[in-house]
Amino acid sequence: MWPLIAGGVLYLSYLAASGEWRSLLFRPRDIRGAIEMQKYYLRLRKEHPPQGKHNPLQKAAYTFIILLGVLSVVTGFAIYQTDAALVAHGAVRRISGGALLALLGGVDLHGLSHRPRAAGVRRGSGIAAGDDQRLVSRPIPQP
């Protein structure tokens, strides 16, 4: 838990000091853009929606990860400080476990979506892009 806290404090300090949090925070006005971006990712929309430095789904992911990290720390302290006989202790453990699984699941899905590019497969292929031949390695064409 302490490495998570240390990393989180460093990251949040950087976001606050640099002002980067403004470009990463998911706001209610981003909901429509997130829906349009999801349509694009699902190939229900042909043209790429307009975006700034980060698209609305990226903003949602960054915001959600920070909230999950805070939830993990708070529930971790609650489990550490709570007497085992309390009824709420089981609920806190389930919440903490769910937050941890969500964090790990997000990391796993993110890794799967970027693995094809790291392996030299052409851009736009892979699980996230919905390529039918995602397991076939194709070299990146050189200009």
For the chain, the structural domain boundaries read 2-118
pLDDT of residue 110: 58
pLDDT of residue 118: 46
pLDDT of residue 93: 76
Please list the ranges in the chain whose pLDDT falls under 50.
87, 116-136
pLDDT of residue 128: 47
pLDDT of residue 131: 46
pLDDT of residue 27: 93
State the pTM of this model: 0.63
Backbone φ, ψ for residue 110 (5° rounding): -65, -45
